[in-house]
């Protein structure tokens, strides 16, 4: 009898807990059906590439948030309605995220393998920029494991002026948007929840299934944003941050690579008074060719000519040449007009190389006098841990209300001399990135991402043109450009293209490189055409 009574009490407790969780949950609205725009991408091996059908979803922060029992805004402009949202839990119970009208409201369109993001879109209200994630299905983000792999995409930044950032990157979000770990999150990945990055952003409206109302302070400069008490932290691999003037790629490790919540200034990063007070590396180890002294490599009419589209290839090299190894190097190359373009070499005294390695990062931090938060949070090993867990692909377009994007394309900090190593990052004027100016002057700016591919090293591109597969062409002539010299290679009719894997323990593919490249041993597990 006692046991039966105890069991009944246990069941009642479970039922009450389930009811309580549901009644306090972050809700989903029904005013607008959520239909994700389709986007194809490819998985590649040395044998070729296969097309995968996917889709994209816009982040929850861009969505209409209204009451569950009607259409009253819970959030208007950059302020919460505190009569509806007096605290985080109540707000999550009373407010819902609704579906999105991607093209008309947010300026987001897809066609085949191409995603276009418009900067300013005016419908019933003005929308600025967007942030989207690649989906595996309607309720799950696509997860990428990039160790010993390369990631490739085509991009058109010709319409991105100073002050804008067309960013393509990876973050360690939960595949389901956090709905399994936080059952109060009923919206999940389908509605773009669960964002995190290495800045531990505090401008998110919902974190871990609850609202971010408590302590919310509307922004003085951004009519759509503010910050709350909570932030959302995780590792971040910036494959591409760029406009038509400057570009950078940057790993940002965290002490815990997966998503965690932080509190107030203990979050660190952009949104807190103590930038280095959190568990993530807000600065990263960046490779910006202009900042590294090569001012003629990237931009309109330069070696990588941003007047036209091009292909971006990023390779994640491990110490064992396998996906179970530890990240030791991140390499970058480009393909434009049928030419493979090696990343420019650093021209900064005391910092050598054209890829991100532990030695490069340590030397750069020392010479530039930057705080070495990269090493403090694990460096490449920390980034490796996040890549091993799997990361979500983010594609965005944004302007910068904190630093006017000067850290990407101008002199930063602005009080330092441009002749000081590390200060000059591009040719933009220090007044060019003010968001009010950018939004009013360049509302028609846009970025296009297309032809996304992931696969084994050397499998996602060749030198016969932008976005081709890794197999060599019998009619291709390979040309490798740098900013100071242009060398025609006169490729042979057969052989692997430059940077392809050509050997190593367990390698069963070709070991012959196209002329003038030779198969060069990197370690026992990996050889590459160089």
Pairing status of strand 75-76 against strand 79-80: antiparallel
Beta strand spans in 142-295 (E)? 143-144, 149-156, 164-171, 206-207, 210-211, 217-218, 226-227, 230-233, 236-242, 247-252, 260-263
- 111-143 pLDDT tens trace: 999 999 999 999 888 999 999 999 999 999 999
**Contact at 8 Å (CB) between 358 and 380?**
yes
DSSP 392: E
Catalytic one among 142, 150, 236, 339? 236
| Res 70 pLDDT > 50 | yes
Residue 16: the pLDDT is: 38
Residues in the chain, total: 530
| Res 482 pLDDT > 70 | no
Residue 392: the pLDDT is: 98
Residue 464: the pLDDT is: 53
Model confidence, pTM: 0.86
Among 480, 482, 461, residue whose Cα is nearest residue 472: 461
Residue 485: the pLDDT is: 34
- Measure the CA–CA gap between 134 and 234, rounded to whole angstroms: 18
**Contact at 8 Å (CB) between 290 and 318?**
no
| Rg of the chain on CA atoms, in Å | 24
Catalytic one among 142, 241, 329, 439? 241
> What is the number of alpha carbons within 13 Å of residue 471 lying toward its C-beta?
7
Q: In what helix (H) or strand (E) does residue 395 lie, and over which residues does it extend?
A: strand 391-399
**Contact at 8 Å (CB) between 351 and 360?**
yes
- Measure the CA–CA gap between 478 and 293, rounded to whole angstroms: 26
Among 387, 522, 381, 393, residue whose Cα is nearest residue 458: 522
Q: In what helix (H) or strand (E) does residue 393 lie, and over which residues does it extend?
A: strand 391-399
CA angle 526, 527, 530 (to 5 degrees): 140
| Res 94 pLDDT > 90 | yes
**DSSP reduced 3-state for 60:** helix
Would you place residue 527 in the very low, low, confident or very high pLDDT band (cuts 50, 70, 90)? confident
Residue 26: the pLDDT is: 65
Pairing status of strand 27-28 against strand 95-97: parallel
Would you place residue 503 in the very low, low, confident or very high pLDDT band (cuts 50, 70, 90)? confident
Say what percent of the chain tops pLDDT 90. 80
**Contact at 8 Å (CB) between 179 and 430?**
no
Encoded tokens for 420? 């000081």
Pairing status of strand 501-503 against strand 519-523: unpaired
- 170-225 pLDDT tens trace: 999 999 999 999 999 999 999 999 999 999 999 999 999 999 999 999 999 999 99
- 344-390 pLDDT tens trace: 999 999 999 999 999 999 999 999 999 999 999 999 999 999 999 99
Average pLDDT, the chain: 89
Any bridge partners for residue 207, and if so which? Answer: 210
Alpha helices in 24-101 (DSSP H): 88-94
**Cα 19–chain centre separation:** 37
Would you place residue 491 in the very low, low, confident or very high pLDDT band (cuts 50, 70, 90)? very low
Residue 502: the pLDDT is: 75
**DSSP reduced 3-state for 200:** coil
Where are the chain's structural domains?
Answer: 35-58+101-208+215-456, 500-529
Does residue 241 carry a catalytic annotation? yes
From residue 492, give the alpha-carbon distance in Å to each of 125, 240, 458, 485, 512.
Answer: 57, 32, 17, 21, 11
Q: In what helix (H) or strand (E) does residue 388 lie, and over which residues does it extend?
A: helix 379-389
- Measure the CA–CA gap between 320 and 147, rounded to whole angstroms: 10
Residue range 35-58+101-208+215-456 forms a domain whose CATH class is: mainly beta
């Amino acid at each position: 009898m006692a046991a039966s009574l105890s069991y009944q009490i246990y069941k009642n407790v479970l039922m009450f807990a389930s009811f309580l969780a549901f009644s306090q949950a972050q809700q989903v609205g029904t005013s607008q059906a959520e239909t994700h725009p389709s986007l194809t991408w490819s998985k590649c091996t040395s044998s070729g590439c296969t097309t995968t059908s996917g889709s994209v979803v816009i982040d929850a922060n861009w969505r209409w948030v209204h009451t569950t029992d009607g259409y009253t805004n819970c959030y208007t402009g950059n302020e919460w309605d505190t009569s509806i949202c007096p605290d985080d839990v109540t707000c999550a119970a009373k407010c819902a995220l609704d579906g999105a009208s991607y093209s008309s409201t947010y300026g987001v369109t897809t066609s085949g393998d191409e995603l276009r993001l418009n900067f300013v879109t005016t419908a019933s209200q003005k929308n600025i920029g967007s942030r989207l994630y690649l989906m595996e299905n309607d309720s799950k983000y696509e997860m990428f494991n990039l160790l010993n792999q390369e990631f490739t995409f085509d991009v058109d930044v010709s319409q991105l002026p100073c002050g804008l950032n067309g960013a393509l990157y990876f973050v360690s979000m939960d595949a389901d948007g956090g709905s399994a770990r936080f059952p109060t999150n009923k919206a999940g990945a389908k509605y773009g929840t669960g964002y995190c990055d290495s800045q531990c952003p505090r401008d998110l409206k919902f974190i871990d299934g609850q609202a971010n109302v408590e302590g919310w302070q509307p922004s003085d400069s951004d009519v759509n944003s503010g910050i709350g008490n909570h932030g959302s932290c995780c590792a971040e691999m910036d494959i591409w941050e760029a406009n038509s003037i400057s570009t950078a790629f940057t790993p940002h490790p965290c002490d815990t690579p997966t998503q965690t919540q932080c509190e107030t200034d203990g979050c660190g990063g952009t949104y807190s008074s103590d930038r280095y007070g959190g568990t993530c590396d807000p600065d990263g180890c960046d490779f910006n060719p202009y900042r590294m002294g090569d001012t003629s490599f990237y931009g309109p009419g330069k070696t990588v000519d941003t007047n036209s589209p091009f292909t971006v290839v990023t390779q994640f090299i491990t110490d064992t040449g396998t996906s179970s190894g530890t990240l030791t190097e991140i390499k970058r190359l480009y393909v434009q007009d049928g030419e493979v373009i090696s990343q420019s070499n650093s021209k900064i005294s005391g910092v050598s190389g054209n890829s991100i390695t532990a030695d490069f990062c340590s030397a750069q931090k020392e010479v530039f006098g930057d705080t070495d938060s990269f090493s403090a949070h694990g460096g490449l090993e920390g980034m490796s841990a996040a890549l091993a867990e799997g990361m979500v692909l983010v594609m965005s377009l944004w302007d910068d209300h904190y630093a006017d994007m000067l850290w990407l394309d101008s002199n930063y900090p602005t009080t330092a001399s441009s002749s000081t190593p590390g200060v000059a990052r591009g040719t933009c004027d220090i007044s060019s990135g003010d968001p009010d100016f950018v939004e009013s002057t360049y509302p028609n700016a846009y970025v296009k991402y297309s032809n996304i591919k992931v696969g084994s090293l050397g499998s996602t591109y060749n030198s016969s043109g932008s976005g081709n597969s890794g197999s060599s062409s019998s009619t291709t002539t390979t040309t490798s450009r740098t900013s100071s010299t242009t060398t025609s290679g006169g490729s042979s009719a057969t052989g692997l293209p430059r940077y392809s894997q050509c050997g190593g323990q367990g390698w069963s593919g070709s070991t012959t490189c196209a002329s003038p490249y030779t198969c060069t041993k990197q370690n026992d597990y990996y050889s590459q055409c160089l």
